[in-house]
Amino acid sequence: MSTSCYSQFMAYEKLSAQVEQLTNPQRSDAFFKQFRDAVREGKIEAADLPERFELPKEYRRRGADETYTRTVKDMVVDVTPAYKKWFDGVNEELSQNTRRVAAPKASLESVESGDVDFAAMVEETRRKMQASFAKGQSLGNARKTAAKPAAKRTTKK
């Protein structure tokens, strides 16, 4: 009797249904990996189911136009407020644009506009020049000492 009362308050949902709620379905593989990690670490409660489901992410092979998808094991999730908070955080994290912006190229225009820090460029240039100079000096000194072998004979035959 107590188990039926207990199950009325617990909400269970399939992982496949949770994946469908993702804002960015192309990141479903990353969500699945984080989900498995969270279950393993005990952050959320879930159990394996015998069936499998297809991740919505479409993969492309290099140099080919066709796409393919992956199937993964489905799980049953205990949807608690803690799980909802975890899901919302991960969903937000995965929906953000993850492309890294390249550093601006060093040019007169980028220095004048302030996109590139001129003082940092000067310091980097000095460091490179000093390293190159020191390398040349040590190489020259190494050759100078190696080029002086002891003379075996002092007179010509």
State yes or no: pLDDT of 9 exceeds 60: no
State yes or no: pLDDT of 69 exceeds 70: yes
State yes or no: pLDDT of 128 exceeds 90: yes
Residue 62: CB atoms within 10 A of its CB come to 4
The Cα 29–Cα 51 span in angstroms is 18
State yes or no: pLDDT of 20 exceeds 60: yes
- The residues, any chain, with a CB within 8 Å of residue 74's CB and separated by 6 or more, are 14, 15, 16, 48, 49, 51, 52, 53
Per mean pLDDT, which range of 58-62, 126-130, 131-135 is the poorest? 58-62
Residue type, 65: D
Determine which helix (DSSP H) or strand (DSSP E) holds 72, and give its type and residue range: strand 71-79
Q: Copy the structure tokens of residue 65.
A: 């136009």
Asked if residues 51 and 45 have their Cβ atoms less than 8 Å apart, the reply is no
Stronger pLDDT, 53 or 98, i.e. the higher one: 53
pLDDT digits (tens, 9 = 90+) for 77-109: 998 898 899 999 998 888 886 666 677 788 888
pTM: 0.55
Q: Copy the structure tokens of residue 35.
A: 């989900």
